[in-house]
């Protein structure tokens, strides 16, 4: 089983933010989303004939993105890339990790040894046990998909199953293109199934059978229709494809393993070489300047000891009777004399911090904003958010209406820094 390594499943973990292009085939058309490094992206739709012509402005834009280091991310159609939810009776994610391959193999119509496989981050199931989404595609199907893109002069850097591109958010959806459809079924955060077919509703019989089957299984299930033939979120799939290398989302994963001489492999090797060079320099410095380092460490140790003694005096009001044991003695002093104060502080700060976090998450979700980093403590909450200045200003006013102090400022890498604390 060629398991795709995590470095290639989620390149955003180690690769700097870069421009990206989402690519999707829809009959004789190419659906494209151009996502710059910062700011909003733009869609484009061209026919294959126009793409292969001598003059195609959209193709020139895509090539310019690639020449500037951007990723080309192609969708892998449902007839080539399968997605399954694996459920383990074990609550331990570490132990469950040992049986995911066996659980996946039992659901596949072909041998696991012939596939490229990727497991998304697992979660503990509130109902007991654990679960994770797994994506698999036969090596031959991947090669066929790459060959079709090669006929158009396109060499994708990443291949993301279209089912996963349609699974964020986790709800039952139907993407209706101009000549084909992709559909998923979800229930209470559980992935039930997915598929794709030629044709669009109401003539797409496989889609009708899929809906009937799951409606009988889960009464009342509703599907939200999106895509170019619906007029709702026409560019959702290609836009999500372009976002795949930017964020480690719960539903985006690359199935294209490290191919020889690929750009992804070259950049990973370059990253490793840089880290090896830095490690070598550090070793040289440690070997060349041991006395300086020892002196710095001793000075730091003396400074820490002095600070500990001063803090001990500030807490207890007296000098340390046993140098080196101040932390232990101060802890006992606090336990004996400040128990009620500590309990009161915990009661006040704990729930308020939780409430602040819930408010921020609720405001982010209501505005469809993405937080790339989130840090919280009892005093304040800090987040880096992808969005516009207007969206962040509106969110700031909403948080201040709860009696919080909210500050918004731009960062140097295209996001906004949001800081929320009590007045």
Query: Which residue from 110, 18, 106 is spatially nearest to 65, judged by alpha carbons?
Result: 18
Which burial class, exposed, middle or buried, applies to 386 when counting CB atoms under 10 A from its CB (0-12, 13-18, 19+)? middle
pLDDT, position 288: 67
Domain of residue 68, residue span = 6-257
Of how many residues is the chain composed? 423
DSSP 310-342: HHHHHHHSS--SSTT-HHHHHHHHHHHHSHHHH
Q: What is the pLDDT of residues 380-390, one digit of tens each?
A: 899 999 989 89
Give domain status of residue 269, yes or no: no
pLDDT greater than 80 at residue 344: no
Give domain status of residue 323, yes or no: yes
Give domain status of residue 281, yes or no: no
**Average of per-residue pLDDT across 405-409:** 91
Last residue of a domain, one of 311, 337, 363: 337
Give whole-number Cα distances, 411 to 151, 382, 387, in Å: 41, 13, 12
Same domain (yes/no): 189, 316: no
pLDDT band at 63 (very low <50, low <70, confident <90, very high): very high
Cβ of 159: how many Cβ atoms within 10 Å?
26
pLDDT, position 286: 67
**Between 203 and 151, residue with greater pLDDT:** 151
DSSP state of 232: B
Same domain (yes/no): 57, 115: yes
Same domain (yes/no): 176, 236: yes
- We report the CATH number of the domain holding residue 367 as 3.30.1360.100
Same domain (yes/no): 333, 368: no
Strand ranges for 342-403 from DSSP E: 370-376, 380-386
How far, in Å, CA of 38 to CA of 264, rounded?
21
Give domain status of residue 1, yes or no: no
Last residue of a domain, one of 257, 272, 303: 257
Query: Which residue from 73, 46, 30 is spatially nearest to 164, judged by alpha carbons?
Result: 73
The per-residue pLDDT of the chain, averaged, comes to 85
Same domain (yes/no): 252, 370: no
pLDDT band at 347 (very low <50, low <70, confident <90, very high): very low
**HSE of 322 in the Cβ direction (CA atoms, 13 Å)?**
6
pLDDT greater than 80 at residue 349: no
Same domain (yes/no): 253, 368: no
Give whole-number Cα distances, 81 to 159, 233, 312, 350, 354, in Å: 9, 23, 62, 45, 40
Strand 158-161 to strand 123-124: parallel, antiparallel, or no bridges (unpaired)?
Answer: unpaired
Name the domain count of the chain.
Answer: 3
**Percentage of residues in the chain with pLDDT exceeding 70?**
83
pLDDT band at 316 (very low <50, low <70, confident <90, very high): confident
The tokens describing 250, both together, are: 């719960």
Same domain (yes/no): 379, 253: no
Same domain (yes/no): 242, 306: no
pLDDT, position 218: 94
How far, in Å, CA of 12 to CA of 35, rounded?
15
Same domain (yes/no): 52, 113: yes
How far, in Å, CA of 336 to CA of 184, rounded?
59
Cis link prior to 169 (omega < 30° from 0)? yes
Give domain status of residue 410, yes or no: yes
pLDDT greater than 80 at residue 276: no
The tokens describing 184, both together, are: 């998923």
Give domain status of residue 46, yes or no: yes
Query: Which residue from 84, 116, 120 is spatially nearest to 103, judged by alpha carbons?
Result: 84
Q: What is the pLDDT of residues 39-56, one digit of tens each?
A: 899 999 999 999 999 999
Longest CA pairwise span in the chain (Å): 87
Give domain status of residue 262, yes or no: no
How far, in Å, CA of 205 to CA of 209, rounded?
6
Helix (H, G, I), strand (E, B) or coil at 84: strand
- We report the CATH number of the domain holding residue 130 as 3.30.420.380
**Average of per-residue pLDDT across 126-131:** 92
Same domain (yes/no): 321, 367: no
Same domain (yes/no): 230, 364: no
**Between 328 and 116, residue with greater pLDDT:** 116
């Amino acid at each position: 089983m060629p398991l795709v390594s995590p470095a290639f499943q989620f390149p955003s973990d180690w690769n700097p933010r870069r421009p990206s292009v989402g690519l999707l085939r829809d009959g004789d058309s190419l659906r494209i989303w151009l996502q710059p490094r910062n700011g909003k992206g733009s869609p484009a739709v061209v026919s294959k004939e126009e793409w292969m012509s001598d003059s195609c402005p959209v193709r020139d834009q895509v090539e310019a993105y690639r020449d500037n280091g951007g990723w080309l991310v192609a969708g892998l159609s449902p007839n080539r890339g399968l997605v399954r939810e694996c459920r383990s009776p074990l609550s331990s994610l570490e132990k469950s990790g040992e049986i995911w391959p066996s659980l996946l193999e039992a659901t596949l119509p072909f041998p696991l040894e012939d596939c490229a496989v990727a497991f998304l981050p697992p979660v503990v199931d509130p109902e007991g046990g654990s679960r994770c989404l797994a994506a698999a595609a036969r090596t031959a199907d991947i090669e066929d998909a790459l060959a079709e893109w090669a006929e158009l002069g396109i060499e994708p850097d990443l291949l993301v199953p279209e089912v996963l591109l349609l699974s964020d958010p986790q709800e039952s959806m139907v993407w209706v293109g101009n000549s084909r459809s992709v559909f998923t079924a979800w229930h209470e955060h559980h992935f039930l199934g997915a598929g794709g077919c030629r044709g669009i509703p109401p003539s797409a019989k496989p889609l009708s059978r899929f809906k009937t089957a799951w409606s009988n299984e889960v009464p009342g299930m509703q599907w939200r229709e999106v895509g170019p033939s619906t007029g709702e979120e026409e560019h959702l799939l290609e836009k999500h494809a372009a976002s795949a290398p930017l964020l480690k989302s719960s539903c985006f994963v690359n199935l294209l393993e490290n191919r020889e001489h690929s750009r992804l492999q070259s950049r990973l090797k370059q990253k490793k070489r840089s880290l090896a060079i830095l490690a070598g320099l550090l070793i040289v410095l440690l070997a060349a300047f041991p006395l300086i380092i020892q002196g710095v460490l001793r000075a730091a140790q003396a400074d820490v000891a002095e600070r500990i003694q001063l803090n001990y005096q500030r807490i207890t009001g007296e000098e340390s009777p046993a140098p080196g044991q101040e932390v232990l003695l101060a802890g006992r002093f606090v336990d004996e004399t400040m128990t009620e104060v500590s309990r009161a502080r915990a009661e006040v700060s704990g729930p308020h911090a939780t409430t602040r976090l819930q408010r921020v998450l609720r405001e982010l979700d209501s505005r469809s904003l993405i937080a790339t980093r989130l840090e919280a403590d009892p005093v304040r909450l800090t987040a880096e958010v992808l969005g516009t200045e207007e969206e962040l200003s509106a969110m700031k006013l909403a948080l201040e209406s709860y009696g919080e102090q909210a500050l918004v400022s731009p960062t140097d890498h295209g996001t906004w820094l949001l800081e929320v604390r009590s007045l």
